[in-house]
Amino acid sequence: MSLKAGIVGLPNVGKSTLFNCLSNAKAQSANFPFCTIEPNVGVITVPDDRIAQLVEIDKPAKVIPTTIDIVDIAGLVKGASKGEGLGNKFLANIRETDAIIHVIRCFDDDNITHVDTTIDPVRDKEIIDIELQLKDLETIENRIAKIEKQAKTNKDRIALKQFEVLTIIKETLLQGKSARTINFDEVDYAIAKSFELITLKPVMYVCNVDEAAIIKGNNYVDAVKEATKTENAEILIISAKAESEIAELEDENERKMFLDDLGLKQSGVSKLIQSTYKLLQLETFFTTGKDEVRAWTYKKGTKAPQAAGVIHSDFEKGFIRAEVIKFSDYTQLKSEQAIKDAGKLSVEGKEYTVQDGDIMHFRFNV
């Protein structure tokens, strides 16, 4: 399953530094705008303590964790919707992602130049919001021009419904709000999603702070929280500088000591990856045994046959049933035979909705 989250932000807010911490891919990080010209894609392993528990039980020959793709996209500047800076590249690249990680500078440092000379995270956020909203408004107006006549003249029911949704989105964008703030029902959301709008994508705001603000934040973070309180968006506080120092430590004990000194139980990068996974509405099921422990990614709400298709298309085509073990039962009883003896193995059909952490075995025939 190839789903991507794009890291965006103004130049010099720390997004490429953060990307370098996330991935083995090395985006050039330098103190000037547009140091990231082409989007850098990193395949990121999703931290999951459950894998270690399965490995402890089954001692497999091979372990395969689940991953997501993170894309570091060139910095945006005011006027991007009109092609300023690398605006056209930025907007094309972000349109191809499934969710947005918006990095906002929330620290003071005279040695790192801000593109607008002063530090104002709310202004920075609004610059990107406005550019994305203007681009979406252009998209919506083009669609309205094509569909309005068909809707009003021919009374086409589908066209009328599309026109209704387009009008709601246009009014929202004109108010300076993103499409994601609209409370769509399931049908209208599906229609809105077909327009491929940038501001409909789920977003997570990452406040990049100095080490002193990692735990409680600072006035800049408070301002971002206030500015985003109606957006239903997650906010993470991370120090990209501290994360880059942690990433350079090869010894696990040294990393733990560094985190302890900062007052953290886990690195900000781990929290960011896990939060991005949830932002993309992804969950994990497992297959486990002596040969292999493997984590598989699926979209929340997926039925058993489609989950089987994640492993191989033949599994979905010839799906018969799924044998499901709950993770807590497996870690308690520690073997499939013990699970069966305890009556804890369930047999599920085509309508079963896969749950996060399920251990699954699929029966199929093609």
pLDDT digits 0-9 by tens, 123-165: 999 999 998 999 899 999 999 988 988 877 777 888 899 999 9
pLDDT of residue 94: 86
Q: Which residues pair with 287 in a beta bridge?
A: 294
Pair of tokens at residue 331: 């870690």
CA distances for 154 relative to 98, 143, 158, angstroms? 35, 17, 11
Q: At residue 304, does pLDDT exceed 90?
A: yes
pLDDT of residue 363: 97
* Cα separation, 101 vs 79, whole angstroms: 20
Q: Specify the amino acid at residue 141.
A: E
| Residue pair 14/208 in contact by the 8 Å Cβ criterion | yes
Which residue pairs from 52-55 have beta carbons closer than 8 angstroms and sit at least 24 positions apart in sequence? Answer: 53/331, 54/286, 54/288, 54/293, 54/330, 54/331, 54/359, 55/293
pLDDT digits 0-9 by tens, 184-204: 999 999 999 999 999 999 999
DSSP β-ladder status, 62-64 and 203-208: unpaired
Once rounded to an integer, what is the mean pLDDT over residues 270-293? Answer: 95
pLDDT of residue 215: 94
pLDDT of residue 26: 44
Q: Specify the amino acid at residue 154.
A: N
pLDDT digits 0-9 by tens, 244-278: 998 888 888 998 999 999 999 889 989 999 999 99
pLDDT digits 0-9 by tens, 29-48: 444 443 444 557 888 889 99
pLDDT-wise least confident of 42-51, 282-291, 316-325: 42-51
Q: Specify the amino acid at residue 126.
A: E
CA distances for 137 relative to 11, 122, 129, 196, 200, angstroms? 24, 22, 12, 12, 12
Give me the phi and psi of 291, to 5 degrees please: -75, -40
| Residue pair 67/43 in contact by the 8 Å Cβ criterion | yes
pLDDT of residue 29: 44
Give residue for tokens 């599920």.
348
Question: Within 13 Å of residue 140, how many CA atoms lie on the same side as its CB?
Answer: 28
Give the other-Cβ count within 10 Å of 43's Cβ: 12
Once rounded to an integer, what is the mean pLDDT over residues 100-105? Answer: 95
